[in-house]
Amino acid sequence: MLRFVLLLSLSVPVLAGPIVPAPPTINADAYLLMDFATGKIVVEHNADQQLPPASLTKLMTAYILAEEIDDGRLSLDDKVPVSRNAWSQNPTFRGSSLMWIEPGKDVTVQELERGIVISSGNDATVAIAEHIAGSEEAFAGMMNGYARELGMTDTFFVNSHGLPHPDHLTTARDLAVLAVATIREHPDRYRVYREQSYTYNDITQYNRNLLLREDPTVDGLKTGYTSVAGYGLVASAERDGMRLVSVVLGSESTLSRTAETRSLLNYGFRFYQTLKPLAAEVSLGQQRVWKGVVGLVDGGVLETPSITVPRSNKEPSIVAQFNDTLEAPIARGDEIGLVKVILDGEVVLERPLVALKDVPEAGFFARLWDALLLWLSGLFGDSK
Protein backbone atom coordinates (compact mmCIF):
# COMPACT_ATOMS: atom_id res chain seq x y z
CA MET A 1 0.00 0.00 0.00
CA LEU A 2 1.24 3.50 -0.86
CA ARG A 3 0.59 6.43 1.42
CA PHE A 4 1.36 10.16 1.72
CA VAL A 5 1.03 11.41 -1.84
CA LEU A 6 2.94 14.58 -2.63
CA LEU A 7 2.07 16.46 -5.84
CA LEU A 8 4.66 18.95 -7.03
CA SER A 9 3.08 20.88 -9.92
CA LEU A 10 5.82 22.88 -11.53
CA SER A 11 3.53 25.07 -13.66
CA VAL A 12 -0.13 25.80 -14.32
CA PRO A 13 -1.52 24.07 -17.44
CA VAL A 14 -2.84 26.54 -19.98
CA LEU A 15 -3.31 24.58 -23.20
CA ALA A 16 -4.07 21.05 -24.31
CA GLY A 17 -1.29 18.59 -25.08
CA PRO A 18 0.87 19.10 -28.15
CA ILE A 19 -0.09 17.77 -31.56
CA VAL A 20 2.86 15.93 -33.08
CA PRO A 21 2.62 15.41 -36.85
CA ALA A 22 3.58 12.18 -38.53
CA PRO A 23 7.32 11.88 -39.17
CA PRO A 24 8.68 12.68 -42.63
CA THR A 25 8.61 9.95 -45.25
CA ILE A 26 12.20 9.19 -46.19
CA ASN A 27 13.21 7.77 -49.56
CA ALA A 28 15.59 5.14 -48.24
CA ASP A 29 15.61 1.40 -47.56
CA ALA A 30 15.81 1.90 -43.79
CA TYR A 31 16.17 4.76 -41.35
CA LEU A 32 16.01 5.56 -37.66
CA LEU A 33 16.15 8.58 -35.36
CA MET A 34 17.19 8.05 -31.73
CA ASP A 35 17.56 10.28 -28.69
CA PHE A 36 21.14 9.89 -27.52
CA ALA A 37 20.46 10.41 -23.80
CA THR A 38 17.45 8.11 -23.42
CA GLY A 39 17.69 5.66 -26.30
CA LYS A 40 14.11 6.46 -27.29
CA ILE A 41 13.35 5.82 -30.96
CA VAL A 42 11.60 8.87 -32.35
CA VAL A 43 11.31 7.63 -35.95
CA GLU A 44 12.02 4.25 -37.52
CA HIS A 45 11.43 2.39 -40.77
CA ASN A 46 12.80 -1.10 -41.46
CA ALA A 47 15.19 -0.45 -38.56
CA ASP A 48 15.90 -4.18 -38.12
CA GLN A 49 16.28 -5.08 -41.79
CA GLN A 50 19.76 -6.43 -42.47
CA LEU A 51 21.47 -4.36 -45.17
CA PRO A 52 25.03 -3.89 -46.46
CA PRO A 53 26.65 -1.00 -44.56
CA ALA A 54 29.37 -0.07 -47.08
CA SER A 55 31.83 2.38 -45.46
CA LEU A 56 29.61 2.74 -42.40
CA THR A 57 31.55 -0.39 -41.43
CA LYS A 58 34.40 1.96 -40.59
CA LEU A 59 32.45 3.16 -37.56
CA MET A 60 33.27 -0.16 -35.94
CA THR A 61 36.88 -0.11 -37.17
CA ALA A 62 37.32 3.36 -35.67
CA TYR A 63 35.51 2.31 -32.48
CA ILE A 64 37.97 -0.54 -31.93
CA LEU A 65 40.85 1.82 -32.68
CA ALA A 66 39.47 4.22 -30.05
CA GLU A 67 39.23 1.34 -27.57
CA GLU A 68 42.87 0.44 -28.19
CA ILE A 69 44.01 4.05 -27.75
CA ASP A 70 41.94 4.78 -24.64
CA ASP A 71 42.99 1.50 -23.02
CA GLY A 72 46.66 2.33 -23.62
CA ARG A 73 47.42 -0.51 -26.03
CA LEU A 74 48.06 1.95 -28.86
CA SER A 75 49.51 5.44 -29.00
CA LEU A 76 48.60 8.04 -31.58
CA ASP A 77 52.31 8.38 -32.36
CA ASP A 78 52.87 4.66 -32.97
CA LYS A 79 54.27 3.87 -36.43
CA VAL A 80 52.22 1.37 -38.41
CA PRO A 81 53.81 -0.76 -41.15
CA VAL A 82 51.93 -0.84 -44.44
CA SER A 83 51.71 -4.28 -46.05
CA ARG A 84 51.09 -4.89 -49.73
CA ASN A 85 47.63 -6.02 -48.68
CA ALA A 86 47.00 -2.54 -47.22
CA TRP A 87 48.71 -0.71 -50.07
CA SER A 88 46.47 1.72 -51.89
CA GLN A 89 47.35 -0.01 -55.17
CA ASN A 90 45.81 -3.29 -54.01
CA PRO A 91 43.45 -4.24 -56.88
CA THR A 92 40.72 -4.97 -54.32
CA PHE A 93 40.50 -1.24 -53.65
CA ARG A 94 40.27 -0.17 -57.30
CA GLY A 95 37.67 2.59 -57.68
CA SER A 96 37.03 2.90 -53.94
CA SER A 97 37.90 5.56 -51.38
CA LEU A 98 41.54 5.61 -50.29
CA MET A 99 43.96 7.40 -47.99
CA TRP A 100 46.83 6.66 -50.42
CA ILE A 101 49.26 4.91 -48.07
CA GLU A 102 52.12 2.82 -49.45
CA PRO A 103 54.65 0.28 -48.18
CA GLY A 104 57.92 1.76 -46.91
CA LYS A 105 56.45 5.13 -46.03
CA ASP A 106 55.89 5.87 -42.34
CA VAL A 107 52.30 6.34 -41.22
CA THR A 108 51.15 6.85 -37.64
CA VAL A 109 48.06 5.68 -35.80
CA GLN A 110 46.86 9.27 -35.67
CA GLU A 111 47.21 9.66 -39.43
CA LEU A 112 45.40 6.38 -40.05
CA GLU A 113 42.57 7.40 -37.72
CA ARG A 114 41.94 10.48 -39.84
CA GLY A 115 42.39 8.44 -42.99
CA ILE A 116 39.60 6.13 -41.80
CA VAL A 117 37.20 8.70 -40.36
CA ILE A 118 37.63 11.65 -42.74
CA SER A 119 39.06 10.19 -45.97
CA SER A 120 37.19 6.89 -45.55
CA GLY A 121 40.28 5.08 -46.79
CA ASN A 122 39.86 1.36 -47.31
CA ASP A 123 43.65 1.03 -47.33
CA ALA A 124 43.83 2.73 -43.92
CA THR A 125 41.33 0.30 -42.40
CA VAL A 126 43.33 -2.73 -43.55
CA ALA A 127 46.56 -1.23 -42.20
CA ILE A 128 45.05 -0.60 -38.77
CA ALA A 129 43.29 -3.99 -38.76
CA GLU A 130 46.54 -5.81 -39.44
CA HIS A 131 48.37 -3.70 -36.86
CA ILE A 132 45.82 -4.39 -34.11
CA ALA A 133 44.92 -8.02 -34.79
CA GLY A 134 47.64 -9.40 -37.07
CA SER A 135 45.29 -10.02 -39.99
CA GLU A 136 42.08 -8.61 -41.35
CA GLU A 137 40.34 -11.91 -40.71
CA ALA A 138 41.30 -11.78 -37.03
CA PHE A 139 40.22 -8.16 -36.85
CA ALA A 140 36.81 -9.06 -38.30
CA GLY A 141 36.50 -11.49 -35.40
CA MET A 142 37.19 -8.62 -33.01
CA MET A 143 34.58 -6.51 -34.78
CA ASN A 144 31.96 -9.20 -34.29
CA GLY A 145 32.98 -9.62 -30.65
CA TYR A 146 32.51 -5.92 -29.99
CA ALA A 147 29.21 -6.00 -31.88
CA ARG A 148 27.95 -8.68 -29.50
CA GLU A 149 29.14 -6.73 -26.46
CA LEU A 150 27.32 -3.61 -27.67
CA GLY A 151 24.11 -5.53 -28.36
CA MET A 152 24.28 -5.23 -32.15
CA THR A 153 22.33 -8.44 -32.54
CA ASP A 154 21.71 -8.29 -36.29
CA THR A 155 25.22 -7.36 -37.42
CA PHE A 156 27.96 -9.50 -38.92
CA PHE A 157 31.28 -8.16 -40.23
CA VAL A 158 33.53 -9.88 -42.77
CA ASN A 159 36.03 -7.06 -43.35
CA SER A 160 37.19 -3.77 -41.88
CA HIS A 161 36.16 -1.46 -44.72
CA GLY A 162 32.72 -2.45 -46.00
CA LEU A 163 33.42 -3.48 -49.58
CA PRO A 164 30.61 -5.83 -50.63
CA HIS A 165 30.33 -9.35 -49.28
CA PRO A 166 27.01 -11.24 -49.06
CA ASP A 167 27.47 -11.97 -45.34
CA HIS A 168 28.60 -8.45 -44.39
CA LEU A 169 25.38 -6.95 -42.99
CA THR A 170 24.00 -4.66 -40.31
CA THR A 171 20.84 -2.71 -39.47
CA ALA A 172 19.89 0.90 -38.87
CA ARG A 173 19.22 0.12 -35.21
CA ASP A 174 22.60 -1.53 -34.70
CA LEU A 175 24.42 1.38 -36.32
CA ALA A 176 22.63 3.80 -34.00
CA VAL A 177 23.78 1.72 -31.03
CA LEU A 178 27.36 1.87 -32.34
CA ALA A 179 27.17 5.62 -32.90
CA VAL A 180 25.91 6.21 -29.36
CA ALA A 181 28.72 4.06 -27.94
CA THR A 182 31.30 5.99 -29.97
CA ILE A 183 30.09 9.37 -28.73
CA ARG A 184 29.57 8.33 -25.11
CA GLU A 185 32.61 6.13 -24.53
CA HIS A 186 35.24 7.91 -26.62
CA PRO A 187 34.50 11.66 -26.64
CA ASP A 188 38.10 12.63 -27.41
CA ARG A 189 38.28 10.37 -30.44
CA TYR A 190 34.79 11.45 -31.53
CA ARG A 191 36.09 14.97 -32.13
CA VAL A 192 37.86 13.69 -35.26
CA TYR A 193 34.48 13.08 -36.91
CA ARG A 194 33.72 16.80 -37.15
CA GLU A 195 36.91 17.65 -39.05
CA GLN A 196 36.01 18.70 -42.57
CA SER A 197 39.20 17.80 -44.44
CA TYR A 198 42.42 15.86 -44.16
CA THR A 199 45.64 16.01 -46.16
CA TYR A 200 48.00 13.05 -46.47
CA ASN A 201 50.65 12.37 -49.11
CA ASP A 202 49.94 15.86 -50.50
CA ILE A 203 46.37 14.84 -51.26
CA THR A 204 43.57 16.78 -49.55
CA GLN A 205 40.25 14.99 -49.13
CA TYR A 206 37.03 16.42 -47.74
CA ASN A 207 34.67 14.87 -45.25
CA ARG A 208 31.76 13.42 -47.22
CA ASN A 209 29.29 14.31 -44.47
CA LEU A 210 27.98 17.47 -46.13
CA LEU A 211 25.91 18.40 -43.09
CA LEU A 212 29.11 19.36 -41.27
CA ARG A 213 29.45 22.33 -43.60
CA GLU A 214 25.85 23.49 -43.52
CA ASP A 215 24.67 22.81 -39.95
CA PRO A 216 26.94 23.78 -37.03
CA THR A 217 24.98 21.53 -34.66
CA VAL A 218 26.05 18.41 -36.61
CA ASP A 219 29.37 17.03 -35.33
CA GLY A 220 29.64 13.55 -36.90
CA LEU A 221 29.61 10.67 -37.87
CA LYS A 222 30.14 8.84 -41.21
CA THR A 223 28.98 8.26 -44.78
CA GLY A 224 28.98 5.11 -46.87
CA TYR A 225 28.41 4.06 -50.46
CA THR A 226 28.67 1.06 -52.74
CA SER A 227 26.55 0.20 -55.74
CA VAL A 228 25.11 -2.68 -53.71
CA ALA A 229 24.35 -0.71 -50.54
CA GLY A 230 23.37 2.62 -52.02
CA TYR A 231 24.11 5.82 -50.10
CA GLY A 232 24.14 5.81 -46.31
CA LEU A 233 24.76 8.34 -43.57
CA VAL A 234 24.97 8.06 -39.79
CA ALA A 235 24.87 11.53 -38.23
CA SER A 236 24.57 13.18 -34.85
CA ALA A 237 23.63 16.70 -33.83
CA GLU A 238 23.19 18.55 -30.55
CA ARG A 239 20.87 21.51 -30.07
CA ASP A 240 20.06 23.17 -26.75
CA GLY A 241 21.37 20.23 -24.76
CA MET A 242 19.48 17.58 -26.74
CA ARG A 243 21.47 15.16 -28.91
CA LEU A 244 19.92 13.02 -31.66
CA VAL A 245 21.46 10.24 -33.73
CA SER A 246 20.09 9.48 -37.20
CA VAL A 247 20.74 6.59 -39.56
CA VAL A 248 19.81 6.51 -43.26
CA LEU A 249 20.57 3.40 -45.34
CA GLY A 250 20.00 2.76 -49.03
CA SER A 251 19.37 6.29 -50.21
CA GLU A 252 19.63 7.28 -53.88
CA SER A 253 22.43 9.84 -53.89
CA THR A 254 24.84 11.96 -51.85
CA LEU A 255 22.40 14.85 -51.88
CA SER A 256 19.39 12.71 -51.00
CA ARG A 257 21.04 11.09 -47.96
CA THR A 258 21.99 14.57 -46.78
CA ALA A 259 18.48 15.95 -47.28
CA GLU A 260 16.86 12.91 -45.66
CA THR A 261 19.12 13.12 -42.62
CA ARG A 262 18.47 16.85 -42.33
CA SER A 263 14.72 16.18 -42.45
CA LEU A 264 14.90 13.54 -39.71
CA LEU A 265 17.02 15.70 -37.41
CA ASN A 266 14.86 18.80 -37.89
CA TYR A 267 11.72 16.78 -37.15
CA GLY A 268 13.16 15.35 -33.96
CA PHE A 269 14.42 18.67 -32.63
CA ARG A 270 11.24 20.52 -33.62
CA PHE A 271 8.72 18.20 -32.03
CA TYR A 272 10.56 16.40 -29.19
CA GLN A 273 12.56 17.36 -26.14
CA THR A 274 14.83 15.66 -23.63
CA LEU A 275 13.88 16.47 -20.04
CA LYS A 276 15.41 15.74 -16.65
CA PRO A 277 12.39 16.17 -14.42
CA LEU A 278 13.90 14.47 -11.36
CA ALA A 279 17.09 15.76 -9.77
CA ALA A 280 19.36 13.34 -7.95
CA GLU A 281 19.66 13.74 -4.16
CA VAL A 282 16.75 16.21 -3.95
CA SER A 283 14.07 15.39 -1.38
CA LEU A 284 10.59 14.85 -2.81
CA GLY A 285 9.06 14.64 0.65
CA GLN A 286 9.35 12.93 4.01
CA GLN A 287 7.65 9.99 5.67
CA ARG A 288 7.46 8.80 9.25
CA VAL A 289 9.92 6.06 10.18
CA TRP A 290 9.18 3.72 13.05
CA LYS A 291 11.85 2.31 15.37
CA GLY A 292 14.58 4.59 14.02
CA VAL A 293 17.03 7.00 15.58
CA VAL A 294 15.22 9.74 13.65
CA GLY A 295 11.52 9.95 12.99
CA LEU A 296 11.52 11.01 9.31
CA VAL A 297 13.19 9.86 6.11
CA ASP A 298 13.60 11.87 2.89
CA GLY A 299 12.60 10.17 -0.35
CA GLY A 300 14.00 10.90 -3.79
CA VAL A 301 16.19 9.41 -6.53
CA LEU A 302 19.95 8.85 -6.50
CA GLU A 303 20.47 9.43 -10.24
CA THR A 304 19.00 12.00 -12.59
CA PRO A 305 16.97 10.21 -15.29
CA SER A 306 16.29 11.64 -18.74
CA ILE A 307 13.11 11.23 -20.76
CA THR A 308 12.21 12.01 -24.37
CA VAL A 309 8.72 13.47 -24.78
CA PRO A 310 6.84 15.62 -27.28
CA ARG A 311 7.49 19.32 -26.83
CA SER A 312 4.87 20.92 -24.63
CA ASN A 313 4.06 24.35 -23.19
CA LYS A 314 3.59 22.63 -19.83
CA GLU A 315 6.07 21.55 -17.20
CA PRO A 316 5.82 18.04 -15.77
CA SER A 317 4.26 17.31 -12.40
CA ILE A 318 5.90 14.98 -9.90
CA VAL A 319 3.91 12.63 -7.67
CA ALA A 320 5.84 10.97 -4.84
CA GLN A 321 4.07 8.08 -3.09
CA PHE A 322 5.55 6.62 0.09
CA ASN A 323 4.97 3.10 1.35
CA ASP A 324 2.38 2.99 4.12
CA THR A 325 4.62 1.89 7.01
CA LEU A 326 8.37 2.33 7.13
CA GLU A 327 10.48 0.69 9.82
CA ALA A 328 14.16 1.09 10.62
CA PRO A 329 16.77 0.08 9.73
CA ILE A 330 16.62 1.76 6.35
CA ALA A 331 19.72 2.04 4.18
CA ARG A 332 20.37 4.79 1.68
CA GLY A 333 18.95 3.60 -1.65
CA ASP A 334 16.32 1.31 -0.13
CA GLU A 335 13.03 1.46 -1.99
CA ILE A 336 10.41 3.25 0.12
CA GLY A 337 7.78 4.15 -2.45
CA LEU A 338 7.17 5.22 -6.04
CA VAL A 339 7.63 8.48 -7.93
CA LYS A 340 5.76 9.34 -11.13
CA VAL A 341 6.32 12.12 -13.63
CA ILE A 342 3.15 13.29 -15.36
CA LEU A 343 3.02 15.44 -18.50
CA ASP A 344 -0.14 16.39 -20.38
CA GLY A 345 -2.11 13.97 -18.25
CA GLU A 346 0.11 10.96 -19.02
CA VAL A 347 2.63 9.17 -16.84
CA VAL A 348 5.88 9.58 -18.78
CA LEU A 349 8.26 8.19 -16.17
CA GLU A 350 8.11 5.94 -13.11
CA ARG A 351 10.99 5.28 -10.74
CA PRO A 352 11.33 3.70 -7.30
CA LEU A 353 11.31 6.31 -4.54
CA VAL A 354 14.37 5.58 -2.41
CA ALA A 355 15.75 6.71 0.92
CA LEU A 356 18.31 9.49 0.56
CA LYS A 357 20.00 8.72 3.91
CA ASP A 358 20.49 5.82 6.27
CA VAL A 359 18.10 5.51 9.19
CA PRO A 360 19.66 3.17 11.78
CA GLU A 361 17.60 1.35 14.38
CA ALA A 362 16.92 3.14 17.64
CA GLY A 363 17.73 1.63 21.03
CA PHE A 364 15.76 -1.22 22.58
CA PHE A 365 13.28 0.87 24.57
CA ALA A 366 12.62 3.30 21.72
CA ARG A 367 11.92 0.37 19.41
CA LEU A 368 9.66 -1.20 22.03
CA TRP A 369 7.74 2.04 22.40
CA ASP A 370 7.27 2.42 18.63
CA ALA A 371 6.16 -1.20 18.39
CA LEU A 372 3.47 -0.46 20.98
CA LEU A 373 2.38 2.66 19.09
CA LEU A 374 2.24 0.70 15.84
CA TRP A 375 0.07 -1.92 17.49
CA LEU A 376 -2.27 0.70 18.90
CA SER A 377 -2.46 2.53 15.57
CA GLY A 378 -3.41 -0.75 13.93
CA LEU A 379 -6.24 -1.15 16.37
CA PHE A 380 -7.57 2.32 15.62
CA GLY A 381 -6.81 2.28 11.87
CA ASP A 382 -4.30 5.13 11.90
CA SER A 383 -0.70 4.34 11.06
CA LYS A 384 0.34 7.97 10.98
Q: Is 265 helix (H, G, I), strand (E, B) or coil?
A: helix
Task: Indicate if 58 belongs to the active site.
Answer: yes
- Sheet strands (E) in 125-262: 197-200, 203-206, 218-226, 230-239, 242-251
Cβ atoms of 289 and 250 closer than 8 Å: no
DSSP states of 294-337: SSEEEEE-SS---EEEE--SSPPEEEEEEES-EES-B-TT-EEE
CA distance 66 to 48: 26
Check 58, 222, 291, 314 and give the catalytic one: 58
- The number of angstroms, rounded, from the C-alpha of 281 to the middle of its chain's C-alpha atoms is 24
Check 88, 96, 119, 120 and give the catalytic one: 120
SS3 content of the chain, % helix, strand, coil (to 5): 30, 30, 40
Cβ atoms of 303 and 276 closer than 8 Å: no
Cβ atoms of 79 and 108 closer than 8 Å: yes
Task: Indicate if 120 belongs to the active site.
Answer: yes
Q: 286, 307, 299: which is closest to 350 by C-alpha?
A: 307
380: exposed, middle or buried (C-beta count within 10 Å: 0-12, 13-18, 19+)? exposed
Cβ atoms of 98 and 123 closer than 8 Å: yes
Neighbouring residues of 343: CB distance < 8 A, sequence distance ≥ 6: 309, 312, 314, 316, 317
Q: Which residues are catalytic?
A: 55, 58, 120
